[in-house]
Structure 1
Amino acid sequence: MSDTAVPPPPTSPREFPCGACGARLEYSAGARQMRCPYCGSEEKIPEATRTVREHAVETLFARRPAERVAEHRFVCQGCGAHIQGDHLAQTCQFCTAPLVTDDSADVQVPPEAVLPFTVERRAAHDALSGWTNSRWFAPNSLKRVSEAERFKSTYLPHWTFDAQTESDYRGQRGEYYWVTETYTTTENGKSVTKTRQVRKTRWYPARGRVSRFFDDVLVNGTTQVSPEKVDALKPWPLDKARPYAHEFLAGHEALRYDVEPEQGLEAAKQVMAGTIHQDCKRDIGGDEQRVTSVDTAYSRVTGKLLLVPVWAGAYLHGGKTWQIVVNGCTGEVQGERPYSAAKITAAVLAALLVIALAVFLFVQYGG
């Protein structure tokens, strides 16, 4: 018999019935309240009794049975996304494949903070429509992505990390100097001797130490949305993040992370390394700099799981899935779109027709 303790099942999520009609309340984007989608009754979200906390990575890496953030959990049969929500769903907003019930264990790092939605559905739809209309030759299927079943308010998991760094570097400092060179050229068939100033660089060895405190280095916690699209949604108003509470997810969905916190920390260190490299160059000074080695020590490393809001949708075209995401705080749109062969062909034929008509008129009346 195994001595391994079986973790207790996660607690049930909180439910928020409407006091007037009994329907489920939903978090109202941009407000500190929940609203009933049926009768319009509103209920204020209580003020947080704590602040957003940063956790030592040793604690962060120690998974534990997490409190479920929603009543229903699904796994996508196409892309494998694990989605949580308080209502039944049929298709995945990331790939349009069917969803089935997810019975996997919930032993994960619980969310510490949430960046609530401020862009409501109508505003997100308008932003998407503007983006769609600016894409020439886009297929008609792109315009249908904002349908309710395809376009869903979803929280994406992100890791944030803080760290104090001390970096010892070695490199070279380059300083410019000028020399006069003599050269010969030909002018008007004659050989002419001239001089010119040529810039050279003297290199001197350099070494030193730089330090920096990094605050809230943001790392994408999911592979279900391409890193390029998620990065392009930045910046996020991280100063608006609030302590996690179930109320902010009422009526919305949340994607579980599949980038582990250890992976997230390594990705954060790569981001930090780029900034540290620039710090070393500034410390070296001179006109040019070469950094040959950097040895960084990390201390006071902390992190947390943060949920950020997007409106996400997907559509099928040409046998391929195309994703669209809208920043739930700023309305920034990022997505993929194919080109409609039919529309391009029609445009080319129309252009050829115009040219042919112009030639005909010129021959008939211009001569």
Structure 2
Amino acid sequence: MSAPDVAVQARELEPAMAALREMRARESGPQVTGEWEVKCQNCGGTTGFTGSLTATRCPYCATPIQRDDVHNAPARLPVDGVLPFAVGEKQARELVDTWVSGRWFAPSKFRKYRQLGAFSSLYTAYFTYDADTASWYQGERGDDYQVRVGTDEDGDPVYETRTRWYPVAGEVGNDFADLPVLANENLNRNRIRALEPWPVERARAYSPEFVAGHLCRTYDKDAEESFPEARQRIESAIEATVRRDIGGDHQRIHQLNTSWNWLAYKHVLLPIWLLTVVYMNQPYQVYINGLTGEVSGDRPWSKVKIAAAIAAVLAVIAVLIGAFAATRGHHTPAHPAGHSTVAPPHPTTHR
């Protein structure tokens, strides 16, 4: 690899988006919707690129081919960095083997994914956000205390929990670094979110050499369009910080105002191994973090296996109920057979 090992620098969001809008007003960016054809320099075959796909292999000779007109195009946000694959294909398949083997209630045919599924390496587009915030709040702190309100039937005291509320106000600061947001559509965002955390601090400056031979996608939503998802996570973290600062058993937040002292982003490509299995005409996808090996995915459920498991549980319950009933129905005599004990008559006193 001749790509330079250079640290990735963040860009301020607002100035970068303003410059992008100005550039778009002067010239149109490359087409990232519909179909685009690229000619292979090795065999001359033509490969169709759909939507935001920017790198793949030639279907005729397996030569890596890319769209050179997308990444770092003037009318698009440039790629700042890339995290190269650290998990190879062999290890990735072993991780999928382990994951699939643990899906006990998946159909047996689904578990034969090697014959049914497509396995590929994919660079997905992400925007990661850095933020420095200061938040002022006003609210109430609630402290619980116990009050005796009476006694129960046995004469034991009964207590009730009540809360004292105090007015509070304060200021908290939060720093956020490399908060990742997937910028591609048509992928299971929740499953890919489960692959976090990403060691973005290890990203290197982008070079086309990194994505050669892999599938690669450019962003479908830019840094401004992707930011609301990051903002929601940031605001949730700020609220949690405020509640910790208030303390007590309960917190009420009446006012919360946040100032954004710094807001920046990085456009990075992150590596994912993707398994797609079509089962009963329904696609299921399993994702593997190409750096940490974390696995997240979907799979079908076997109705036969679930029914068998329910039947087994019901059988065990029936056996336990039968054993309990037999124990309750068996009476042991209080004394040995053939012997009886007669209590002496109670003395009567005559007055």
Instruction: Name the TM-score, length of structure 2 as normaliser.
Output: 0.71
Name 1:51's counterpart in structure 2. 7
Task: State the SS of the aligned residue for 1:142.
Answer: coil
CA drift of 1:285 comes to 2.2
Contact 1:74-1:84 at 8 Å conserved across structures? no
The structural deviation recorded for 1:338 is: 1.0
Q: Conserved in 2, the CA contact under 8 Å of 1:156 and 1:255?
A: yes
Report if the CA contact (8 A) 1:310-1:326 is conserved.
Answer: yes
Deviations 1:306-348 (A, max 9, x none): 1110111212222221111111112222111113456668x68
Letter in 2 for 1:238: V
CA deviations 1:127-182 (Å, max 9, x no partner) are 11111122224345534545798111101111111111111212111122332222
Q: Does 1:153 align with 2:108?
A: no
DSSP 3-state at the match of 2:277: strand
Say whether residues 1:318 and 2:272 are aligned partners: no
CA distance in 2, matches of 1:119, 1:320: 28
Which of residues 134, 137, 154 in structure 1 aligns to 2:102? 134
CA distance in 1, matches of 2:106, 2:168: 54
Q: CA, structure 1 residues 295+103, in 2 after alignment: closer, same or farther (shift >3 Å)?
A: same
Offset at residue 234 of structure 1 (A): 1.2
Identify which of 78, 83, 90 aligns with 2:53.
83
1:232, distance to aligned residue in structure 2 (A): 0.8
> Measured at CA, do residues 103 and 157 of structure 1 come closer, stay the same or move farther in structure 2, by a change above 3 Å?
closer
Check if 1:172 corresponds to 2:140.
yes
Pairwise CA RMSD: 3.5
C-alpha spacing 1:143/1:150, structure 2 compared with 1 (3 Å): same
Inter-CA distance 285–74: structure 2 relative to 1 (3 Å threshold): farther
Percent identical: 31
Contact 2:140 2:166 in 1 (8 A): yes
- 2:171 maps to 1:209: yes
The corresponding residue for 2:254 is 292
What residue is the counterpart of 2:218 in the other structure?
Answer: 256
Structure with larger Rg: 2
221 and 277 in structure 1: CA distance in 2 versus 1, 3 angstrom threshold: same
Alignment CA distance shift 1:74-1:234 (3 Å): farther
In the alignment, the residues of structure 2 paired with residue 84 and residue 148 of structure 1 have an alpha-carbon distance, to the nearest angstrom, of: 26
Inter-partner Cα distance in structure 2 for 1:183 and 1:124: 64
Which letter does structure 2 place at the counterpart of 1:57?
L
What does residue range 33-44 of structure 1 map to in structure 2 within 5 Å?
44=1
Aligned partner of 1:29 in structure 2 is none
Residue correspondence of structure 1 range 217-366 to structure 2 within 5 A: 217-340=179-302
Per-residue deviation, 1:54: 0.6
Instruction: Give the deviation of 1:286 after TM superposition.
Output: 2.5
Q: Is the 8 A contact 2:7 2:203 kept in 1?
A: no
Tell me the CA shift for residue 114 of structure 1.
0.8
Match of 1:32 in 2: none
TM-score w.r.t. length of structure 1: 0.68
Provide the C-alpha distance between the structure 2 equivalents of 1:334 and 1:146, rounded to a whole number of angstroms: 18
Q: Deviations over 1:26-47 (max 9, x none)?
A: xxxxxxxxxxxxxxxxxx4444
The question of whether the paired residues in 1 share the 8 Å contact of 2:117 and 2:278 is answered with: no
Contact 2:271 2:291 in 1 (8 A): yes
Unaligned runs of 5+ in 1: 1-43, 91-100, 356-367
Question: Does the CA contact (< 8 Å) of 2:117 and 2:276 recur in 1?
Answer: no
CA gap 1:139/1:179 in 2 versus in 1, 3 angstroms: closer
Partner of 2:346: none
Measured in 2, the distance between the counterparts of 1:110 and 1:167 equals 32
Q: Distance in 2 between matches of 1:308 and 1:321?
A: 23
Distance 1:102 1:288, change over 3 A: same
Q: In 2, distance between residues paired with 1:309 and 1:265?
A: 21
Distance 2:120 2:134 in 1: 43
Give the distance between the partners of 2:261 and 2:114, measured in 1 at CA. 46
Pair 1:208–1:233, CA change in 2 (3 A): same
Among 90, 97, 108, the alignment partner of 2:76 is: 108
* Structure 2 SS opposite 1:282: helix
How much does 1:123 deviate? 0.5
Q: For 2:300, what is the secondary structure of its paired residue?
A: coil
What code does the residue aligned with 1:60 have? A
Q: Partners of 2:59 and 2:271 in 1: how far apart? A: 18
Query: What amino acid sits opposite 2:227 in the alignment?
Result: L
| Distance in 2 (alpha carbons) for counterparts of 1:253 and 1:319 | 24
